Structure 1
């Protein structure tokens, strides 16, 4: 029985060595130089890379004017692994977000242990701070424990903010849409930044 097991193990080892050797040999044989320009040109397709920077993002109030809390609930499912927004719900890996709008940044949530970075931001969660937070927690509060990268689409952020606003005993009045010629919103960071979810 031992001889048979040794034979099987020997053949398996030899097969693995042969596969590795063939892989190395074929890699050397078929090694190609990296082309100067990667990819192929497709006729009739315009190159977006020369078009310049994307259009500036509008203020969050513009997106909040048409925000849909039901869509926000769907987007919030991405946050559901760490947060809930149920009244009286427990803290999880992240704090409970029920009634977050108007609450102190880095405070509340039934004794949740917020990072010192988030506590240092100060102020209260408002639409702009939630937007800044949801855009990039790491930029809003450098050193935060929050590992979520953020939501890149302003429509998604607005929908989540509208959803979180409804998850409250006293929802905040939604801001009015800014005038069409309003200046684009600059991304906020730190104490002057707008931050969305709390952690």
Structure 2
């Protein structure tokens, strides 16, 4: 019996990324408290949550490879969440103007049959342009990225906000490091290509 591939996420962005690999997969909503622990670093947080999300979904699948992922954006040591509204997004982008900010994406793969867990955290650095208030307002009105950590969609109009990027896999910026995921799947004898 072949293993089912399960994405422990209802994120449309992660689903879109995984679809790039032309694999059949199911999606499942993990029921996980995402509150950071006391003195937990951004790296520790995203790795813990990626594993927790995959683990939360595993009991529903007898023979599956379950993918969990979590992401935070860090600016000057402060973890930025999803802004939720225009005002918060404006403040996030104003604070990022002209700076480098780092996204940390946690990735986990759990074999529900054996319990074997693989996990890692992949950083990705974004260099913002100097942004005027008008530029920020225009961007937010057009794209409304209020459900995105850091208040932008790099795969969309948000590309106009940046000077450049530094990182291994641009997919990690959107929320799912595919290069690392492919290696994890291959360690489980799950061929992607």
Structure with bigger gyration radius? 1
Greater fraction of residues in strand: 2
Q: TM (normalized to structure 2)?
A: 0.26
Greater fraction of residues in helix: 1
Which fold has the larger relative contact order, with Cα–Cα distance below 8 Å and residues 6 or more apart in sequence?
Answer: 1
Q: TM (normalized to structure 1)?
A: 0.26
